[in-house]
Amino acid sequence: MVSINLFDSERRVIEAAERLAASLGSDPNHTVAAAAMDTAGRIHEAVNVYHFTGGPCAELVVLGAAAAAGVGPLVTIAAAGDRGRGLIPPCGRCRQALLDLHPDVFVAVPTDDGPALRPIRRLLPDTYFYPDADARRIVRFNKRYYKDIATGRKTSTVRYEDPIAPGPAIFLFEDDEAPRTLEGTATGIERHRLDRLTAEQTRLDGFTSIDQLKKGLQGHYPGLPSDAEIEFVTFTVEAPGAVE
């Protein structure tokens, strides 16, 4: 998934990395800056440490800075080069570290149409997963669902190429401002082919017909193939209740 239409909060992460990179000057030991946003909307910044023995990239340093600040999983990360190089994608080592330690982070990359955000798993497909990373998971939702999920009225979601792991997660409601979060748990996952759905399966996420479900999915996932494998995910939130 590529998103050229970024949230303002995501643009702030990119701007923070580019601003810090522009301040590096001509120091050959620090040539790349990185910025990352946590689930509370705070932005953490760091620079690389170049050394012939293999100093860490800016993305790895910012992971350490965020951990030192006591934050949880990161939502968005961007890196930029000095001397006007602009946004740069992460190297292979950084991609693997991000996938293992922050498996739901979105990474800013340059494209012909401008900055775009991609899930880290899209930057490193068919890869090895470090089994002992014990990373905290994030499930992203559009902010319009916050009230229904917080009050327990919405307890399922349908996803395509957006895998959700069973178990506890931070439910993140994406916004232009600081994101809101809830503590939740993915309790069940069913996978079905879109072209083989039954009426009963369609009702798993509250749709009244297969056509309604397909229309909703195609609006959210442009170019969705007719034989796509989609996931129906059920979930709970901690202490659902009234929301102002």
Phi-psi map region of 70: left, alpha, beta (phi>0 left; psi -120 to 50 alpha) = left
**Residue 92 and residue 70: Cα distance in Å, rounded?**
26
**Residue 129 and residue 135: Cα distance in Å, rounded?**
11
- Known catalytic membership, residue 231: no
Residue 9 corresponds to which amino acid?
A: S
Cβ proximity of 120 and 107 under 8 Å = yes
Structure tokens at 134: 């014990």
Cβ proximity of 34 and 15 under 8 Å = no
Catalytic residue, from 10, 45, 59, 238: name it.
Answer: 59
**Residue 1 and residue 12: Cα distance in Å, rounded?**
20
Name 244's Cβ contacts closer than 8 Å, sequence gap at least 6.
Answer: none
Closest CA to 44 of 8, 77, 18, 89: 77
Eight-class DSSP state of 135: P
Indicate the SS3 state at residue 95: helix
Active site residues: 59
